[in-house]
Amino acid sequence: MKRRLTLTALTDLRDGRFLFALCCILYGAIYFGRLNLAAAITEITTTGILEKDVAGLIHTVFFIVYAGGQLVNGFLSDRLSPFSLIVVSLVGSALSNLVMFWAMCSSAPFWCYLVIWAVNGFAQSAVYPTLIRLVSGVLPEKMRVSAGSILFAAAAVGIMSSNLLCAGIMKIWSWEFCFLMPAAVLAILAGIWFVLTRKISAKTMTREVVAPVEEKAEEKKSSGHGLIYYMAVSGGFVMMPAIAAFYVVKESVTVWSPTLLTEIFSADPSFTVAISTVISLASIFGAMLAQFVFMHWLHDEMKSIAFFNFVVGIGLILVLTVGMKSIWAMLILLSLILVLLTSVNTLFMGIIPLRFGRHGVVSTVTGLLNCVGSGGCAAASYVTGLVAEIGGWNNTILLWLGLTVIGLLAEILLIPRWMRFKRM
């Protein structure tokens, strides 16, 4: 006999708000144990502990493991207790940061850093699919759509806070403490989550014993209605290349905007700080804009995504025609494009997966879509850097425009199928 885990939605809005507040704090705090390496990387390479190529390799390994972990942990999140998985993820990330602190202090061999940060990537990859399962299965239904977008705003706040905290830690103490402090914060947060969610997990989780006869009957009834079936009928397989193309554009604009401004307009390096701040703020406004357009105007995820990508395309055309003439015009256009790209990201990763909640594959779909997105992120820096080096920034922006158009066409084609899937 097998035990089947089922989740029941909360009926008390106060419990729902309390749980969601914890989810937002957790999702923002998790970046403290991820972005700390990037914040300390200059000091690490300057002191000679790591060479630049090895430091870059650590980031690459993290991305690869994080992408693969999304698939594994998304599958597990649909089958195991999401409350327990959060604790395991936080503890795993805390231990990884603690061991990294030791490795940095003791000048360990370079392969140690690769292994430690790979473990951190796998631990952190469980967080988002699990949170989406909690949003889709435990929060009161009236909170779910807004929760998906607010999570992205919480992530933006977490990114800004993490960068500021790491800067403060390096100024007050030493860069090594950029690993020790996140370890402590995440460990404490794991304990807080475990204690404060026990009553809610008891209310919302039930484990039923399924007899072999019932199990076979259910398997027969649900035959052909797993992940592949729902991805097919929803248009998810067509959505995946659109997501990959979108993430190449989003990550490229995010990462390469400071370089673009510096090389085209000979901008002062201080603009890099300004651009980073604008990017973080854009993430907050983009998440809110996505919720407004979806809930109060178009009332459909795919139509909203297509609308935002259409405006992104217009923005990129303006970058080529107007932005190249003025640094301020370029700065404004890139900021607006980043707002729109964040809106698309919110819909793709925060709202669309919720539609799969009633079919029992919400975390698996979330992990799959995030894996595809992480692949796009991994390709973005190399592809954009290569095209910019060979063909210049005009051709690079044309590449972004072409990928945006490809995604837009796929999204327009998906609208009828997506609308039929929502009625299932």
Residue 223 has pLDDT above 70, yes or no: no
Q: What percent of the chain has pLDDT over 70?
A: 89
Mean pLDDT over residues 183-207, rounded? 90
* Residue 245, helix vs strand vs coil: helix
Residue 42 has pLDDT above 80, yes or no: no
Residue 215 has pLDDT above 50, yes or no: no
Mean pLDDT over residues 244-270, rounded? 79
Superfamily of domain 231-422: MFS general substrate transporter like domains (1.20.1250.20)
Same fold, 13-202 and 231-422: yes
Higher pLDDT: 138 or 107? It is: 138
Work out the pLDDT band at 44, boundaries 50, 70, 90.
Answer: confident
Q: What is the pTM of this model?
A: 0.79
* Residue 49, helix vs strand vs coil: coil
- The H-assigned helical ranges of 47-126 are 52-77, 82-105, 110-124
Residue 228 has pLDDT above 80, yes or no: yes
SS3 of 17-43: the string is HHHHHHHHHHHHHHHHHCCHHHHHHHH
Work out the pLDDT band at 416, boundaries 50, 70, 90.
Answer: very high
Query: Lowest mean pLDDT: which of 118-122, 162-166, 322-326?
Result: 162-166
CATH class held by domain 13-202: mainly alpha
Query: Where exactly are the structural domains of the chain?
Result: 13-202, 231-422
